[in-house]
């Protein structure tokens, strides 16, 4: 496994050499590497948890907030889940070589558009050590080499996980050296160096906060696909089943508040606000959620009114990663759509409604990677969508949107077959 005992440029050059071999590997060999990786994760769970415990201890000492600590934490169950995801990726169809479309030109040329690997994918990420394995497995299956750059917050966990993955894939399955590399120093200069390796790195995917995103925007000359923040909303329409609306709202906020598909704002149609909000707010408060509300919400909150905070303009645009929810009453689905498009991050948005026309207006009008009707935003996830795992969720529109998994880690080439044709 390549690390920063080499320079960043040397690590990336090694990954480029490996990528040329990986691009031509057969599916069986890649799957054998993934199974070896999953087996190694299970066999070395104790070592992984010991490294993670050191990161958790240092995180507590550094005063990391609960959302970050939750994302950082590994348990025996979470490691087992990561291994299951690796096996799920192995079981998926190999996208490399897949014909996207084919046609014959009038001159007899047969044209096919065929999926090919991107080459070298760099991933810069914060806090979440599971990303080390998810990204490595997805890249290997899609024929790409990967350069990992984790944060100092998870340095011990990432180092062990990358070593486990690389040893399993390279030593046991015979993949080329440089297939999985990690840059371990943790300083921003390394990020700058990776993001300017135009000759060797084909794509960089950041998975972290606005600081990471800003650093890449300042320096990157390599193409960037942002796995961006999730300022997600639930809108309760006038025709909603209110029992379902409470359950969906609570799940979207509380089930795991530290992740990017958790809801941060609740919008409620004025026609059902007085009926819906007292029960919903009471349940949310009972689960420890801090509520930041507009005046119309406070007016119908009844006995809870004194326990609510006033929402500010900043609250509508904030991804909390915590048990905090902003709440606003709106007069129409159109107003809800306008609010979502103004403040949302384009990640995951949900409407709870019994109206086909409201559902259509919301799904057509909201500009987001995932739009839900009568379901929680918490489902936006590559593993849940049957993609095995994900590198992140893209809120961009080029070249991929939503969960970034196997097919999103490929590009394509045109393969043209003729019988001696020349152009006149």
pLDDT number for residue 373: 98
Measured CA to CA in angstroms, residue 17 lies from 4, 180, 335, 382 at distances of 17, 12, 53, 29
183-201 tens-digit pLDDT: 976 567 889 999 999 999 9
Q: What share of the chain is helix, strand, coil (3-state, %, to 5)?
A: 45, 20, 35
SS3 289: coil
Mean pLDDT, to the nearest integer, of 277-284?
97
Contact call for residues 55 and 72 (beta carbons, < 8 A): yes
User: What is the distance between the alpha carbons of residues 414 and 424, in angstroms, rounded to a whole number?
Assistant: 21
User: What is the distance between the alpha carbons of residues 317 and 96, in angstroms, rounded to a whole number?
Assistant: 39
64-90 tens-digit pLDDT: 888 889 889 999 999 999 999 999 999
Domains 8-227+391-417 and 232-379 share a fold: no
Mean pLDDT, to the nearest integer, of 89-112?
98
Fold that domain 232-379 belongs to in CATH: Aldehyde Dehydrogenase; Chain A, domain 2 (3.40.309)
For residues 37 and 125, the model is more confident at: 37
**Cα dihedral across residues 310, 314, 315, 321: positive or negative:** negative
State both tokens at 383: 């593993």
* Half-sphere CA count of 250, side-chain side, radius 13 A: 18
Strand partners, 393: 403
Mean pLDDT, to the nearest integer, of 36-49?
97
- Superfamily of 8-227+391-417 according to CATH: Aldehyde Dehydrogenase; Chain A, domain 1 (3.40.605.10)
List the chain domain ranges.
8-227+391-417, 232-379
Mean pLDDT, to the nearest integer, of 385-412?
92
321-350 tens-digit pLDDT: 899 999 999 999 999 999 999 999 999 999
pLDDT number for residue 185: 61
13-26 tens-digit pLDDT: 999 999 999 999 99
pLDDT at 228 exceeding the cut of 70: no
């Amino acid at each position: 496994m390549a690390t920063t005992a080499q320079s960043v440029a040397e690590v990336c050059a090694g990954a480029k050499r490996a990528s040329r071999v990986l691009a031509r590997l057969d599916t069986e060999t890649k799957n054998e590497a993934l199974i070896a990786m999953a087996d190694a994760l299970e066999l070395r769970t104790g070592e992984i948890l010991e490294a993670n415990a050191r990161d958790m201890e240092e995180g507590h000492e550094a005063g990391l907030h609960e959302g970050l600590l939750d994302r950082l934490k590994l348990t025996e169950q979470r490691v087992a889940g990561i291994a299951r995801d690796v096996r799920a990726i192995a079981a998926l169809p190999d996208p490399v070589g897949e014909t996207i479309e084919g046609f014959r030109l009038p001159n007899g040329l047969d044209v096919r558009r065929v999926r090919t690997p991107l080459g070298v994918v760099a991933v810069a990420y914060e806090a979440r050590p599971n990303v080390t394995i998810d990204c490595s497995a997805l890249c290997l299956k899609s024929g790409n080499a990967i350069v990992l750059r984790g944060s100092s917050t998870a340095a011990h966990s990432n180092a062990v996980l990358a070593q486990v993955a690389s040893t399993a894939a390279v030593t046991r399955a015979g993949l080329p050296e440089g297939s999985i590399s990690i840059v371990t120093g943790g300083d921003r200069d390394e990020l700058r160096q990776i993001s300017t390796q135009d000759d060797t790195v084909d794509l960089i995917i950041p998975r972290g906060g606005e600081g990471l995103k800003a650093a890449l925007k300042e320096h990157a000359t390599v193409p960037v696909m942002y796995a961006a923040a999730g300022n997600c909303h639930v809108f309760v329409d006038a025709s909603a089943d209110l029992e379902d609306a409470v359950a969906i709202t609570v799940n979207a906020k509380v089930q795991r508040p530290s992740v990017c598909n958790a809801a941060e704002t609740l919008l409620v149609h004025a026609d059902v606000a007085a009926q819906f909000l007292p029960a919903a707010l009471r349940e949310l408060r009972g689960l420890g959620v801090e509520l930041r509300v507009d005046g119309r919400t406070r007016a119908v909150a009844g006995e809870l009114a004194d326990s609510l905070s006033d929402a500010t303009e900043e609250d509508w645009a904030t991804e909390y990663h915590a048990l905090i929810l902003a709440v606003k009453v709106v007069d129409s689905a159109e107003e809800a759509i306008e609010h979502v498009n103004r403040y949302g991050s384009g990640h995951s948005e949900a409407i709870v409604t019994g109206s086909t026309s409201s559902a259509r207006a919301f799904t057509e009008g909201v500009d987001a990677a995932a739009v839900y009707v009568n379901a929680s935003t918490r489902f936006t996830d590559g593993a849940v969508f049957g993609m095995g795992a994900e590198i992140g969720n893209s809120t961009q529109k080029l070249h991929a949107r939503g969960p970034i998994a196997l097919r999103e880690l490929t590009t394509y080439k045109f393969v043209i077959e003729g019988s001696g044709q020349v152009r006149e």
